[in-house]
Amino acid sequence: MKFKRSAGIILHPSSLPGPDGIGDLGPEAYRWVDFLADAGCSLWQVLPLGPTGYGDSPYQCFSAFAGNPYLVSPALLLADELLQRADLADRPDFSNEQVDYGAVIPWKVAVLDRACGRFRENASPKLKKEYAVFLKENQYWLPDFALFMALKEHFGGGAWNEWPKEIRSREPNSLTEMGRRLADLIEKHSLRQFFFFRQWKELREYAHQRGIQIIGDIPIFVANDSSDAWSHPELFFMDDQGHPTVVAGVPPDYFSPTGQLWGNPLYNWKVHKASGYSWWIERFKATLRLVDIPRLDHFRGFAGYWEVPGGAVTAEKGRWVKGPGADFFKSIQKALGDFPIIAEDLGEITPDVVALRDQFHLPGMKILQFAFADDPGNDFLPHHYPVNCVAYTGTHDNDTVKGWYESAAEHERDMARRYLARSGDDIAWDFIRAVFSSTAVFALTTMQDVLSLGAEARMNFPGRLGGNWSWRLLPEQLDASLSRRLREMNYLYSRVETENDEQP
């Protein structure tokens, strides 16, 4: 599918302003969409929108299909008369600058429980009908997910492979009995999903009205402690106790002498292929109901992936295993037609990965922060970019541009100044100009770089436990002068059609 030359910003909804300790899908999200549109941006990139677990990472979710209930807006529940103002009277005094998940989660759960109670008591016939349709449309994953979450709560939060054997192995009579006993909890989790998807659908429709497309991640792997692994263990290499026999990671390299041990269960691709990749087809369908352009995280894993024995403490001892390759993408296209995909092709990229990406004409990624370590032959320098790529100043996994510049080796800083023909005093915007002016069809930056923030605003530090995913935008930071500056950049480099579009 052909992309149109455009630009945008990476900002996860959890980073939006708001009074409830975490960004959500309420009024500030609509204000954010307006900011993007006024700035001439037509792309909004988010991280995975699933329910987060241990470590609060959106890349380790309890489901590849479900939404994150912590992003549900109490303000919108109030407008739907599923909350009353008194229900929000005990709101803690949250920080505006960081998400404190330890404080936010119990508050949000309590608010959602109140909304669930009101829905049961006095939801309008229209809302009840919407809920019935939602249940019907999401039969593939929702019953398993709601039961999984109810069981997790019932068993004190433990991983599913620590549950009693009859529940762990999904014995039908035991599941029926637990479904009966936990019916109220199951309904709560189903309603939380209904609230999320209803609010997200309305926000996405508003974004479309303002000319904004949403880019969203599909992590290649799922968490072991997920509804997906529990309800479909046959799709993964697991023993009969629910423990992965092999897990995902990346091998040792210059940056990590022991590699990276991710620990996700690996797919049994033979089983997937035999089913016509039905689970993946359902996953893509679900993703396309949330976003317009999926970004396949760790794309190289579809060509070949690093397999580490289960129970290993590092990723040093592993082997490369061939992925499903072109057969996978042909099957997805046959089932769903041609739709846009961005290939996250970073890391150790071999010729087979490039060939797979190019066979399906998928745009890869270019990160400007990676460009200045050596000489002008570096592929991440803009003069090497093909049109069919997505250029970034940096992503959620990188430091901010200012943070990178302040900590980079002097030869990299010198190369950046020489290449950009700038002093480095406004380095974040120097990077924005470089990617926006490049031939890359899509150019994206982070909101932290738009604000020229330092390392303190970094979203994620891969490999660091704790302290990630917590940065928040302050409401006063979305000002008109910033919007005008971005719009000028978009206009100058043909990423918006006219200089002063009339705003609706």
For the stretch 47-59, what's the b/e string if a residue is b when 16 or more beta carbons lie within 10 angstroms of its beta carbon?
bbbbbbbeebbbb
pLDDT attached to residue 502: 44
pLDDT attached to residue 503: 42
Reduced to 3 states (helix: H, G, I; strand: E, B; else coil), residue 415 is: helix
**Does 219 have pLDDT greater than 80?**
yes
pLDDT attached to residue 321: 97
**Does 254 have pLDDT greater than 80?**
no
pLDDT attached to residue 504: 34
Residues designated as active site: 297, 344, 397
Tens digit of pLDDT for each residue in 465-480?
Answer: 788 999 999 999 999 9
User: Quick check: 103 and 94 in contact, CB under 8 A?
Assistant: yes
Both tokens of 395, joined, read 């992503």
C-alpha triplet 456, 448, 5: angle, nearest 5°: 155
Q: What percent of the chain clears pLDDT 70, i.e. is strictly above it?
A: 98
**Does 202 have pLDDT greater than 50?**
yes
Under the banding of pLDDT at 50, 70 and 90, the label for residue 270 is very high
Report the chain's mean pLDDT, rounded to a whole number: 96
**Does 482 have pLDDT greater than 60?**
yes
Ranges of H-type helices in 138-182:
142-154, 165-168, 172-181
Tell me what the mean pLDDT of segment 259-288 comes to.
97
Identify the CA nearest to 307 among candidates 257, 242, 236. 236
This model's pTM is above 0.85: yes
Identify the CA nearest to 476 among candidates 39, 31, 33. 31
For the stretch 68-88, what's the b/e string if a residue is b when 16 or more beta carbons lie within 10 angstroms of its beta carbon?
bbbbbbbbbbbebebbeeebb
The Cβ of residue 176 has, within 10 Å, a number of other Cβ atoms equal to 10
pLDDT attached to residue 500: 61
**Does 287 have pLDDT greater than 80?**
yes
pLDDT attached to residue 1: 64
pLDDT attached to residue 462: 85
Tell me what the mean pLDDT of segment 426-433 comes to.
98
Both tokens of 467, joined, read 């302290």
- Rounded CA-CA distance 409/386 in Å is 28
Beta bridge partners of 366: 391
